[in-house]
């Protein structure tokens, strides 16, 4: 429980760091007022002087109601004006380690005082500036590479996608219509159940999946660590402002633990895969399968569906159609457009048409 001497600041003349032992300002002589803020710099030495230790331990100072002088607790009358002892005393305060006041209260100083730029040596200023410049150059170098790469990408995209207007002539039309024919076919399949319409051919037991089954235990060892209490230790857990210019370091006690490892045996379960059998069926079933595609096509506006005959166990499985217009550009280049039937039929060979094309082969009609 070490005693340390604190410091205080004179509110009258602003003198900083007056030793706790002085009850008056050592500059202007003003008495230490009630509620003065005591602080304890880091690494303040322990007080060893017996007289000071006695003062520190005696109790908080009291303030004279008549002349304002600060008096030690042992004084029965004011040392300045002999008035009787008052009830007004300096506060005793408890601080945890984290919030011990360490320095004079920060004051808002005029701007020029807070930033004494003129006091910084010129050499330091110059060296810090040159470092900044160097960093800046490196940063710009990377920025340049990124900017060049980005403009190349953007330029290429513009080059590839930007449409060019082309005057073209309709050189021809074409159309194609398709009908898919399906045939009811008997196929052999095998599954864990027979779907509707399936006719059983054979069946047998087969492994469908595996199940994990506990087989046995194996005895194994492992390292486990545990916290073991080995004793107690004292530590500095805060300080007490004694209200007389001195501080007392508080000591607390805590348990000390040690991590110990030990070897432990345990039973490790070992599993095996056990097959699960189920009945698998082989059956025949009639399925509609794609058999052939009937196609009709032409290069005139006369369109029709292919002529076909459905045989026994056959059906239509879907229709599709596509319509194309071919163009020739001024330099003989050819373009193809796929259109819907109604729009397609409005084009006639020999007509001129403005197209928008890009270098990736995209073709559009100009609006």
Q: Which is nearer to Zn ion, 15 or 190 (CB)?
A: 15
Smallest gap, in angstroms, from Cβ of residue 86 to Zn ion?
Answer: 9
Q: How far apart, in whole angstroms, are the C-alpha atoms of residue 310 and residue 198?
A: 25
Q: Which residue has the tokens 């319409």?
A: 197
Alpha carbon 277 to chain centroid distance?
Answer: 50
The distance of closest approach from Cβ of residue 61 to Zn ion in the complex, given in angstroms and rounded to an integer, is 13
Q: Among 19, 27, 92, 148, which residue sits at the site for Zn ion (rule: CB under 5 A)? A: 27
Question: Which one, of 68, 50, 52, 62, lies nearest residue 92 by Cα?
Answer: 62
Rg (CA), the chain: 50
Binding mask 48-67 for Zn ion (x = CB under 5 A): ----------------x-xx
Q: Which of residues 265-304 bind Zn ion (CB under 5 A)?
A: none
Q: Distance between CA 148 and CA 141 in Å, rounded?
A: 11
Q: How far apart are CA 317 and CA 289, in angstroms?
A: 9
Q: Which is nearer to Zn ion, 90 or 239 (CB)?
A: 90
Q: Which residues pair with 3 in a beta bridge?
A: 248
Kindly state the DSSP code that residue 31 receives in the 8-state scheme: B
CB of 77 to Zn ion, least distance (A): 8
Nearest approach in angstroms of CB 143 to Zn ion is 58
Compare residues 75 and 215 and give the one whose CB is closer to Zn ion. 75
CB of 239 to Zn ion, least distance (A): 26
Binding mask 69-98 for Zn ion (x = CB under 5 A): x--------x-xx-x---------------
Nearer to Zn ion (CB atom), residue 23 or residue 57: 23
Nearest Cα to 344, choosing from 319, 365, 315?
A: 365
User: 308 exposed, middle or buried (CB, 10 Å; 0-12, 13-18, 19+)?
Assistant: middle
Four-residue CA torsion sign, 213, 217, 223, 228: positive
> For residue 133, what are the contacts with CB-CB under 8 A and spacing of at least 6?
none
Q: Least distance to Zn ion from the beta carbon of 241, Å?
A: 21
**In terms of CB distance, is 80 or 314 closer to Zn ion?**
80
# chain residues binding Zn ion, by CB under 5 A: 16
- Contact assessment for residue 30 and residue 12, using Cβ atoms and an 8 Å cutoff: yes
| Residue 28 makes contact with Zn ion by CB under 5 A | yes
Residues 7-26 that bind Zn ion (CB under 5 A): 10, 12-13, 15, 25
Nearest distance, CB of residue 26 and Zn ion, angstroms: 8
24 vs 294, beta carbon nearer Zn ion: 24
Query: Which parts of 162-281 fold into alpha helices (H)?
Result: none
Residues that bind Zn ion in the complex, under the rule CB under 5 A:
10, 12-13, 15, 25, 27-28, 30, 64, 66-67, 69, 78, 80-81, 83
């Amino acid at each position: 429980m070490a005693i340390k001497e604190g410091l205080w600041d004179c509110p009258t003349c602003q003198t900083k760091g007056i030793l706790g032992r002085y009850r008056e300002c050592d500059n202007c002589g003003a008495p230490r007022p009630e509620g003065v803020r005591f602080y304890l710099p880091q690494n303040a030495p322990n007080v060893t002087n017996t007289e000071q230790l006695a003062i520190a331990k005696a109790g908080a100072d009291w303030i004279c109601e008549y002349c304002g002088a600060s008096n030690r607790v042992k004084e029965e009358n004011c040392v300045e004006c002999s008035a009787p002892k008052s009830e007004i005393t300096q506060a005793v305060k408890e601080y945890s380690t984290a919030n011990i006041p360490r320095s004079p209260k920060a004051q808002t100083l005029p701007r020029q005082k807070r930033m004494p730029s003129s006091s910084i040596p010129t050499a330091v200023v110059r060296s810090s500036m040159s470092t900044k410049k160097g960093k800046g150059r490196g940063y710009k170098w990377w920025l340049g590479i990124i900017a060049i790469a980005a403009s190349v990408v953007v330029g290429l995209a513009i080059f590839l996608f930007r449409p060019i207007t082309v005057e073209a002539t309709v050189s021809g039309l074409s159309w194609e219509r398709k009908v898919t024919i399906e045939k009811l076919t008997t196929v052999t399949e095998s599954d864990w159940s027979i779907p509707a319409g399936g006719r059983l051919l054979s069946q047998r037991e087969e492994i469908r999946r595996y199940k994990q089954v506990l087989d046995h235990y194996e005895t194994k060892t492992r390292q486990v660590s545990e916290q073991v209490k080995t004793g107690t230790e004292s530590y500095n857990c805060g300080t007490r402002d004694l209200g007389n210019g001195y501080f007392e370091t508080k000591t607390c006690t805590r348990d000390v633990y040690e991590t110990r490892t030990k070897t432990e045996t345990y039973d490790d379960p070992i599993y095996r895969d056990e097959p699960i059998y189920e009945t698998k069926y082989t059956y025949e079933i009639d399925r509609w399968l794609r058999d052939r595609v009937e196609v009709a096509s032409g290069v005139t506006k006369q369109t029709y569906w292919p002529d076909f005959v459905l045989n026994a166990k056959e059906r239509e499985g879907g229709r599709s159609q596509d319509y194309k217009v071919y163009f020739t550009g001024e330099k003989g280049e050819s373009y193809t457009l796929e259109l819907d039937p109604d729009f397609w039929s409005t084009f006639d060979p020999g007509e001129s048409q403005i197209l928008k094309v890009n270098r990736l082969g995209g073709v559009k009609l100009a609006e």
